[in-house]
A and B are shown apart, each in its own frame.
Chain A
Amino acid sequence: MIDSITLSQERSKLQIMAVPFTLGLMIASFVLAVGIGAMPISLSEVVNYISHGFTSVHSSLSTNVLFEIRLPRAVLSIAVGAALGMCGAAMQALFRNPLADPGLIGVAGGGAFGAVTIIVLGNAIFPNFMTFFGSYALPLGAMLGCLGVCATIYKLSNRQGQFTIITLLLAGIAVNAIVGALIGILTLISTDEELRELTFWTMGNLGGNSWSLTLPVLTLIAISLVGLSRLAKPLNLYLLGEAQAKHLGIAVPQLKKQVFLFTAIAIGAAVSISGMIGFVGFVVPHLVRILIGPDHRYLFPTSMLLGASFLTITDIIARVAIIPAELPIGLVTSALGGPFFLFVLYRQTARF
């Protein structure tokens, strides 16, 4: 009896430690991301810059690099990583399956398709939409793509409230294939300029984005992550099963709709600016769950912070591995995440 309570306390100790620890990790990786690169910037320069209220004291090459290149990129990698980590956890809850990942089941692909459609066909087919939404048109297109795929997969793999991993993954394969083909077709009919703009979606890239493109994405990601974090407790109960959650007093259809909407917004916004970055949404929540358990009140913030740190560190690797060229970050995350996925799959199947 006493033993079991102290053991419980051990898990709750880990749960309480997790957020400050990952927060520190995120800040450290952010500072590293700002400092490391083809042109090293010392910590004192960064501090000096920040202490002057983010305005350049004197215009020099290093402050330009810092403000126009490093900072937007570091902020973006934090935001996208946070979105992928948290949305991965949310999708796994929604499908009650720890193997669901926005990239794996085709949701990110749907987002990429939506984004590419806007780039190539936007001005020709929906000119009013484009002028009305301005710089938000691209993230919106990506979101609609995400939402469409989410709804399709949900309908396909849901049999009376039970989700089977087989249909989930098979539907993901099919959706990814279809999306790949459609993006291919759009690539063929695109102009040279559009082609340059859309090629990076297939591999993922965090660089080359100005503040004006980054800010709408940051806003949308922030809104949806706040929205999702408020659903942590109901989602715990939802993991017992849909009927059980309803018995305990949860309005299940509304809960599902909210999770769908917020993940589609966040993933859509992330994909629209960074392209498809695979496996972060799968690896990060999985690791966190092993360490602190599946309680979403701790899983959500920890996955968010660890996702942000993970992507920021991966982006540093992508930038410096083959200086002066860059690796697409999607390749790095897949190279790290793919083997981990196989390992988890092996452990899961070995149990039966």
Chain B
Amino acid sequence: MSIEAQDLSISLGNKTLLKQINLTISPNELTVLIGPNGAGKSTLLKACCGDMPSTQGQLSINNTLLEQYSPAELAQARAVMTQSYEMGFSFTVFEVVSMGCFAYEEQVSQQEKSAIILDVMRFMDIEQLSDQNFMTLSGGEQQRTQLARVLAQLWFPYDQEEARYLFLDEPTSSLDVFHQYHVLSLAKELTKRNIGVLAVVHDLSLAASFADKLILLNKGEVVTQGKPENVLQRENLANVYGIRGEFFHQSDRVKPVIMLDSRQ
């Protein structure tokens, strides 16, 4: 069971956004998409979660073609955190988070539902904001609230045989360092529950620190994929990002980083 993309291509008009992508997203793995602006990271993520139809090729989730899923079935198989969210109505944080339970609402009691909501709010460190108006929160607090809502969607049932997936499009963009690490460790923790995570992350050191697998995209094509130390090599960084630097991991006591040459 996994998400499989075969020869996936997407074009808009005569602009090609993705060219013949082949990839596998496995449960129990944190896969991170990296690449420069406009490389097609968000497009690939949208294609995998069913937001963008492919022009060519096919995509299957757990051996079933994406087109064959109804929205309700898809909601049980995957959750998505988008890059931007608009909200013109004064829902409270609690109300926003509780919307994440929609897909399985009929299967749980009111107490179980409240327990799930409190659980994810505690995880995202927003329980003290529970009754605040979502629109008045700071950018980081809004992002954590939305993340809690997305997590709530996968919180039940805890152990499920069918693999599920979580898509995170730049989940750390508005977060401070503490919460960046917190979110990615949480994503990693979720992979132990038979959940596959696909995340777009800009910070290469952050990506290298948490990813089981990195996929490096450039101009709509997969440049290379694999373990962080193999993907983040000097020549790849130079070719794709135009920077000089390399992957550096001093010891098991610290996280790896990307060390940039002082002369660029």
Contacts and interface: CB of A to CB of B under 8 A. Distances in A.
A237 B99 contact: yes
A269 to B, nearest CB: 27
Contacts of A11: 92, 131
B128 A246 contact: no
A1 B75 contact: no
B70 A248 contact: no
A250 B71 CA distance: 6
Interface string B38-68: 0000000000011100000000000000000
Interface residues of B, number: 36
B178 interface: no
A28 to B, nearest CB: 29
A289 B90 contact: yes
Contacts of B17: none
Interface in B65-88: 70-72, 74-76, 78-80, 82, 85-88
Contact of B91 (A247, A250, A295): A295
B79 A247 contact: yes
A293 B91 contact: yes
A283 to B, nearest CB: 17
Nearest to B80: A247
A240 B96 contact: yes
Interface string A231-243: 0010011011101
A249 B91 contact: no
A249 B74 CA distance: 7
Nearest to A294: B89
A162 B153 CA distance: 24
Contacts of B50: 246
Contacts, number: 94
Nearest to A162: B86
Given A241-B85, A246-B51, A247-B79, A4 B102 contact: no
Contact of A251 (B70, B82, B95): B70
A69 B135 CA distance: 48
A10 to B, nearest CB: 8
B90 A293 contact: yes
Given A4-B130, A293-B95, A248 B90 contact: no
Contact of A4 (B74, B95, B127): B127
Contacts of B74: 249
A98 B86 CA distance: 13
A1 B92 contact: no
A316 to B, nearest CB: 32
A164 to B, nearest CB: 11
B82 to A, nearest CB: 6
Nearest to A255: B71
Contacts of B89: 96, 98, 239, 289, 294
A3 B92 CA distance: 14
A247 B91 CA distance: 19
A294 B127 contact: no
B94 interface: yes
Nearest to B102: A248
Contacts of A246: 50-51, 71
Contacts of B75: 247-249
A249 B102 CA distance: 8
A96 B86 contact: yes
B85 to A, nearest CB: 6
A251 B74 CA distance: 11
A14 interface: no
A5 interface: yes
Given A244-B85, A249-B103, A239 B153 contact: no
B51 A240 contact: no
A62 interface: no
Contacts of B80: 243-244, 247
Nearest to B94: A8
A1 B128 contact: yes
Nearest to B86: A241
A7 interface: yes
A233 B103 CA distance: 12
B124 to A, nearest CB: 14
B88 A97 contact: yes
A247 B49 CA distance: 8
8 contacts: A97-B88, A239-B88, A248-B99, A249-B102, A249-B103, A250-B71, A251-B72, A293-B95
Interface of A: 1, 3-5, 7-8, 11, 96-98, 162, 233, 236-237, 239-241, 243-244, 246-252, 289, 293-295
Given A246-B50, A249-B103, A293-B90, 8 more contacts: A241-B86, A246-B71, A247-B75, A247-B82, A248-B100, A293-B95, A294-B90, A295-B91
